[in-house]
Amino acid sequence: MLYELFSYLKNTDLPGKDLGNFLSFRAGAAIILSLLITIFFGKYVIRMLRRKQIGEDIRDLGLEGQLQKKGTPTMGGIIIIMAVLIPVLLFSDLSNVYIQLMLITTVWLGFIGGLDDYIKVFRHKKEGLNGRFKVFGQVGLGIIVGTTMWLSSDIVIQEKEWTTTTYEVVDENGKTKTVKEKVVVEKEVKKATETSIPFLKDTTLDYKDLIGGNDTVGWLFYILVAIFIITAVSNGANLTDGLDGLLTGVSIPIVMVLGVLAYLSGHIIYSDYLNIMYIPDSAELIVFATAFVGALVGFLWYNSFPAQIFMGDTGSLTIGGIIAVFALCIRKELLLPLLCGVFLVEALSVIIQTTYFKYTKRKYGEGRRIFLMSPIHHHYQKKGLFETKIMMRFFIISLLLSALTLVTLKIQ
């Protein structure tokens, strides 16, 4: 909205008329506004939720000294969603297809998560929305994202090449001399099911090559990949949301890295220097990323221990889905196991625990466990670590994994 206003003001003589042209200005404005919305309007949302008794009780883990949390407002993901949507709608280019995909993702998964929280709170069903319906919603989003990546003419990969330009300049003594300069130029625009392979220079993976090379079948396979990634990451984020500030803190470094990767991928010079895929118009995603970071940091104001509000599935499913779709848009989904390593370990701990329990129950007649409790953050709680220490250590691990992800740009 304001982006359109800035575009109109370019033709005037008003001071600051060119600010809207600068991605850095719009990204900075987005993070500031997002922070302000979360911090200043968050308290009113919390009051409203308390007044309507939209609260959640945390299960007793049987730990000595454990703080009991009863009636803490939930569905706080509404604050995050609001703090993302408003700055993005104001400062981003809404005609950009990547921004459109991110807005659809935010609203889509926010609705599914909100429905799950609604059933838990108002229908008093602890299991919430049936798991099949959650998966159905995630599959639907995967189909939307994959199909849009396939059909949209604005989503392309652009190859680059270097060329030498020659021009003449006049020096301070009035002499003319010829200067040769190497510049990078756009070469070939193409639709492709390609993605970047970490650690390998100038190497990409084309999904269609995995199933015979047919374009149509390749795109159908790509849609399945999108479905798997969105489902896996959103559920991994959902499982990580179990301690005050845990998912919020872990997600901040992840989103910051994705924002940096989006900016570099959308810049023809930087992408060529770093030997990464050049994706025209993807740099606009930095506005969404900064708004998302601002929303997460601001939410931590209220979600840090002891939490004044829980994000609920409204927030956790949305956070995971946004991260997954963002990575798909910039063709960096193969980095997610490293970047989202905390989500991966949380999900694996549940899978391992459940599988081993069922196996031992069938074999020995008694279910046995590998972890004291799953997801794994509860295992450490059972071992006596207080939740603030667990949260900070997981945050540090996420920070380390995010740094390693950035390092992959040069390990090629």
**pLDDT tens digits, one per residue of 63-107:** 544 555 667 888 899 999 999 999 999 999 999 999 999 999 999
Q: 175 pLDDT exceeds 80?
A: no
Phi and psi angles of residue 146, each rounded to the nearest 5 degrees, phi first: -60, -40
- Neighbouring C-beta atoms of residue 190, cutoff 10 Å: 10
pLDDT score recorded for residue 74 = 86
Average pLDDT, the chain: 87
The string of pLDDT tens digits covering residues 46-65 is 988 888 777 666 655 555 44
227: CB partners within 8 A, 6+ apart? 138, 139, 142, 143, 146
pLDDT of residue 294: 97
Mean pLDDT to the nearest integer, 176-183: 67
pLDDT at 21: 73
Cα gap 314→299, rounded to integer Å? 13
Measured distance CA(310)–CA(147) in Å, rounded: 34
Q: Alpha carbon of 276 to those of 146, 256, 280, 399: distances in Å?
A: 21, 18, 12, 22
Percent of the chain with pLDDT over 70: 84
Q: Which DSSP helix (H) or strand (E) runs through 337?
A: helix 336-339
Q: What percent of the chain has pLDDT over 90?
A: 56
Task: Please state, in angstroms and rounded to a whole number, the distance separating the CA atoms of residues 30 and 3.
Answer: 12
Q: Tell me how far apart the alpha carbons of residues 230 and 386 are, in angstroms, rounded to a whole number.
A: 31
Q: Does pLDDT of 283 surpass 60?
A: yes
Query: Is pLDDT at 4 greater than 70 in this prediction?
Result: no
Q: How many CA atoms lie within 13 A of 116 on its CB side?
A: 25
Q: At what angle do helices 246-265 and 312-329 cross, to 10 degrees?
A: 20
Say how far apart CA 296 and CA 304 lie, in whole Å: 11
Decide: residue 58, CB within 10 A, 0-12 exposed, 13-18 middle, 19+ buried. middle
Report the pLDDT value the prediction gives residue 32, as an integer from 0 to 100. 96
Tokens of 374: 């799953």
More confident residue, 53 or 137: 137
pLDDT value at position 65?
43
Highest mean pLDDT among 3-17, 237-251, 398-412: 237-251
The reported pLDDT for the residue numbered 197 is 84
The arithmetic mean of pLDDT across residues 163-190, rounded, is: 66
Tokens 């991966």, residue?
344
pLDDT surpasses 80 at 346: yes
Peptide bond into 306 cis (omega under 30): yes
Q: Which of these, 101, 103, 95, 31, lies nearest to 252 by C-alpha position?
A: 31
Are 377 and 353 spatial neighbours (Cβ–Cβ below 8 Å)? no
Residue 234 has pLDDT above 60, yes or no: yes
The stretches of 123-187 forming alpha helices (DSSP H) are 131-151
Helix axes 285-303, 77-91, angle to 10 degrees: 150
> What pLDDT, on a 0 to 100 scale, did the predictor assign at position 3?
62
